[in-house]
Structure 1
Amino acid sequence: TVKGDIITSIAAYDAWSDAERNLANTPTKNQTSSRRAVAYQYALDHNTLLTVDRLLRQFRQSLMESGFIDADNKLHGNEGNNDNDDSNKYERKMFPASSLPQDKKIAHKQYDALLTSCCLVAGLYPNIVTLLRPPQNTRKKGSSRGVGGGGGGKLLTKEGQICKVSSQSFQSERIRNASASGKDAYAMYHAKHRTQGVCGGAQNQVTMSNPGSGKEKGGGGGDIYLSEVNFVPRYALLLFSGGTIELRDNTAIVLDGWLKFKVGPSKSSNSSSSSYPASTGIVLIRELRKELDKMLLKRLQYCSNNGPYTREGENEIAPSLDVDGRIVTDKMLQKVVHVVTHLLMEE
């Protein structure tokens, strides 16, 4: 499950935006009133959401002008008359509709969140921390807080810094009440701040420069806080971080020398087909990353060339155009996106 401050913000915008879509056939005044009502109900800033909406439309227009999406690709379904048609919902995705798995049980919102988590990894890496869960015997019975009042979980950086989550973060309570076991393990963050004492006992937060470099380790004193914390799946890190991966002790895949991922069959699996060495897992991950890089590069080249591709080799991945001028993706692209989506959804 994807959890995070940015994911929550997107969900809030979607709820606010849906208020207009649900009243598509009503006067504009009623649409605006409905949006204001949603903003008031959930303590959201209506004017800020209007700004986000304008920026989103500008970004969509830029994607259309660059050829990355076609004019029929409705990001939010506000421009057409078939907004309630389920067949059009997938067209709002960055990936083509045909590349998605045909499982009706997959929630559209969950897919959006998973895709967003991949974008967060690609954009924010190496701003990553791991969640240190408390030992089983450190939790007091009937208490939601850890021993010493420090909370259940801590966040650890590559440089060995113990960080806290900003009190304004939606993840603050979740990390504070973290149990000894759970699925959440890796989180991206946008900025790092350190508290500094000032006159009168008050504290001030100072943004730390180059937060991923580790140069600030051990200096300045005060607690370190992270803002915009978003938990991400491990496969999003392995596939979209761009970091180097290596095999360690033939039992684990290590990302950038410190993030360790165990591979192989699960303990609950008795299938012989699931038994494979870590060396096989790292080969599969590397090949999948290679295909993703190749296809994204081809897509960007197509957009910059503003014209259809010509195949130069049997293994070249290239989109073609249908009779209406819309991009039709290669079957290989569909398969790769299906595999990536399956890995993210299964985690």
Structure 2
Amino acid sequence: MTAAQQLPRETDSWVVARPGRVDTDHPLVWERRPLSPPGPQEVLVEVEACGVCRTDLHLTEGDLSPKIPSCAPGHEVVGQVLAVGTGVEDFAVGDRAGVAWLAWTCGACSYCRAGRENLCPRSRYTGWDRDGGYAGHLLADARYAYRLPDGPPAEELAPLLCAGIIGYRALERAELPPGGRLGIYGFGASAHLTAQLALARGARVDVFTRGENARRLALELGADFAGDSYDPPPRPLDAAILFAPVGELVPVALAALDRGGTLSVAGIHLTDIPALNYQRHLFQERTLRSVTANTRADGRAYLAEAARTRPTVHVSRYPLRRADAALADLAADRVTGVAVLVTG
């Protein structure tokens, strides 16, 4: 499709009408929305699949304040390019594109110039600052999209675009030494991909999560140990990543670290952290650090590594029309692996 009159003028979409609890308040509303042709540097993408991320749940339930009214969530989008705007160089009609969380940065601030665009004060995000992939179509800045291969199923590629990329950055921030022991707290979409990335790099992995099915999956994927969230590790950890949005687990994970270990917190939202004891939690050069979004370089590096290591993506498929049910299942911890919305 190249002519404007051939492009869809409307698309079906879920939007956050008013944030509230997904199980009682029904904050997602299904509606038909107008669709504009792509502007400069934009691509129009027909959605094949969109991963369901916990950030979508935070937006829907109001833990994250909406940036635009009636925003369509979703930032793990795989689809086909239907049209390209002026100035687009890396995509053509018919290409497969991945649209991820980072949607735009200014390119001029000190952070962008230093290669730290994830800290850009003016950064914008898919499914928060602009409409995302809980829809039949979306517009995206082509400079922040990723070229994807045609072969793999869309529902297996979609989780790589956030769960995979943010897990990659969290692992980098944790500074796990070669052959070291990594602790993972929480074992959902991002964690089950990050565990495989660490194992492929030669690490040993211990998993701490409350879900019995998640513990079973962790062991199937190669973890040495899988216990409850508050269990002590069999031996001190060289590094740890906290994926569960539970601040109470920060001192638990810090206490599990060996001397010089690092805990990276991977979520965009975290409940309050209890008071830390300096001697027990931070002394002996233990480090606590956050993870904020990702750079495009992170995305390219992770997707290239995933193409080599071919992680097993445990997918729970939902039709696009059941996005509200997918979020409700995620909120209730009924999803093992990752939920993905599929069209068609």
What TM-score results when the alignment is normalised by the length of structure 1?
A: 0.27
Structure with bigger gyration radius = 1
What TM-score results when the alignment is normalised by the length of structure 2?
A: 0.27
